[in-house]
Structure formats: structure tokens, C-alpha cells
């Protein structure tokens, strides 16, 4: 059964709020766990980098009710949802690499966004440099590139008529650094630093649930280079491989392990 929301995001090339929010509870859980470790009791200015449909921004609004909040994203579809969800925050369409706030934010929050960007050894210290003393950079990134789910994407990319188009994507995916590297990059410029890993286990609705989980995120760079018929072929093969590699549990669901890296740095 083909997901209409997945077909829509594939056709437009933009992010799909409908697909992302299908698993809002699971995706927001990591943002909530990250925010719980931010030590600031108050903030005047908070920036949400890669705010998506505003689920993380809503958490920030509840935590810092008096703060000025700025959300950044490159997807107009996501920003439209975010503006409706948190109407008293400001949102701009801007990429994170161009982020240069007019004044230092007390909190820079990046929920599942920085793994799309390269050169973390330069990017993260640059973000910390934008903070005032006592300010906080809080981020979490999916770290699933070595999971079976992602290995299957690369395998299918290399094994079809789309190989020439998709192999550069498979080879250029951003790699999350080792937690020891993040510690070494940030410790000299941090008054306090926390780095940890958590593997969430998401029960999804069989192979199609796994397809829907990734169609709005990790599969996008592959699917946007394919025509509609090829996208259907790619997803059909991915669905079959998922069914083969992941055991279905007693309730018909598949348990998807999903590791994430968390960093909270106080300048």
C-alpha cells in the first residue's frame, strides 16, 4: 500500500510535515530528553535551528515562556506549520550554515538537524562562539548510518538502474563523528560539557511503517533524484528488504533501533 503523503513529498521535493508528524511522539521524545538537560532556568533569546514543523519550538516556548524565540528552517512547508503551531515565535527560511544572529542567543537548540551538515569540527565551535558566556548549545543527531535500515538504502542505490545517479548520494552522506571527537572539539571552549548516546527503539507498523519513518528524512536524498516510477520501484524493493531483515513481533510491528548522539555545551 503506497502512502499518499510519501508520494506528495517525493513529487514536490520539499519536506512533508504530514510524514514527519506521523511519528511526532517518537521524534519529539528526543527533543524533550535533550531539553531536559539544558541547565538554564531562564533565557531572553532562544534559536531553534532546523525547527521543522515547530514541535521542538513548542517545547522551547513552554520551557522559556518569556523568551524571544527564532526558528530557522529551509522548508517553507515546515515553516508554515511551525508558524501556526507557535504563533508568538519568529520563523525565517534560512540554512544553518548561514546562521548569524543579530545578538548572542542564550540557547541554540538543534534537534535532528546538524547531521545534514559537514565539517562538525568547524560548525560546532562556530555555534558555541555565537553564545554569551553561560549560554548553551544543545543538539541531538540521529546516528543510524551503520544500522541495517541505512545499509539497505545504500545497497538498493548501488543495485538498480539508478546507480549512476544515486551512488554519489550514498557516498556523500554526512558521517557523525565519534563522541570522543566531539568532546575534544568542544571541551576547550566549554565551561561544562555533556556528551552521550541513546538508542531509542521504535515499534513501527511493519515494513510500511519503516518506509514512512524514513521517507520524510533519510530516504529523501535518494528519492528526489528518481522519477515517479523509479521511486515506486525503489520503495517496493526497500519494503521487501526491510521485511526480510527485520523480524515482525507478535503484534505485527517491527522494532526499529534508532541511535542518537546528544551534546549539551555551556560556554
pLDDT, tens only, 184-200: 999 999 999 999 999 99
Domain count, the chain: 1
Phi and psi at 149, nearest 5°, equal -55, -40
Report which of residues 109 and 215 the model is more confident about. 109
Output the average pLDDT for the chain: 91
Q: Tell me, what CATH number does 194's domain have?
A: 3.40.50.150
Q: Please, are residues 263 and 136 in contact by the beta-carbon 8 Å criterion?
A: no
- List C-alpha distances in Å: 71 to 85, 184, 265: 12, 29, 20
Please tell me the pTM assigned to this model. 0.90
Res 25: pLDDT: 83
Q: How confident is the model at residue 174 (pLDDT cuts 50, 70, 90)?
A: low
Q: What is the mean pLDDT of residues 239-265?
A: 97
Question: The domain containing residue 132 runs over which residues?
Answer: 4-266
Amino acid at each position: 500500500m503506497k502512502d499518499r503523503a510519501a508520494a506528495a513529498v517525493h513529487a514536490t521535493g520539499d519536506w512533508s510535515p504530514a510524514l514527519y508528524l506521523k511519528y511526532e511522539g517518537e521524534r519529539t521524545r528526543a527533543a524533550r530528553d535533550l531539553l531536559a538537560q539544558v541547565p538554564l532556568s531562564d533565557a531572553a533569546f532562544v534559536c531553534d535551528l532546523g525547527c521543522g514543523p515547530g514541535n521542538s519550538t513548542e517545547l522551547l516556548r513552554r520551557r522559556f515562556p518569556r523568551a524571544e524565540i527564532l526558528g530557522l528552517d529551509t522548508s517553507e512547508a515546515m515553516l508554515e506549520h511551525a508558524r501556526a503551531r507557535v504563533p508568538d515565535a519568529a520563523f525565517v527560511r534560512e540554512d544553518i550554515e548561514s546562521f548569524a544572529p543579530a545578538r548572542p542567543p542564550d540557547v541554540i537548540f538543534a534537534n535532528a538537524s546538524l547531521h545534514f551538515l559537514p565539517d562538525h569540527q568547524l560548525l560546532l565551535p562556530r555555534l558555541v562562539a555565537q553564545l554569551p558566556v553561560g549560554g548553551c548549545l544543545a543538539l541531538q543527531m540521529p546516528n543510524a548510518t551503520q544500522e541495517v535500515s541505512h545499509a539497505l538504502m545504500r545497497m538498493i542505490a548501488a543495485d538498480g538502474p539508478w546507480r549512476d545517479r544515486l551512488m554519489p548520494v550514498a557516498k556523500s552522506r554526512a558521517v557523525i563523528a565519534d563522541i570522543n571527537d566531539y568532546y575534544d572539539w568542544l571541551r576547550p571552549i566549554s565551561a561544562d560539557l555533556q556528551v552521550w548516546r541513546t538508542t531509542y527503539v521504535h515499534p513501527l507498523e511493519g515494513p510500511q511503517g519503516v518506509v514512512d519513518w524514513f521517507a520524510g528524512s533519510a530516504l529523501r536524498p535518494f528519492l528526489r533524484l528518481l522519477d515517479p516510477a523509479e521511486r515506486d520501484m525503489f520503495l517496493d524493493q526497500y519494503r521487501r528488504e526491510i521485511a526480510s531483515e527485520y523480524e515482525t513481533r507478535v503484534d505485527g510491528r517491527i522494532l526499529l533501533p534508532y541511535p542518537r548522539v546528544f551534546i549539551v555545551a555551556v560556554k
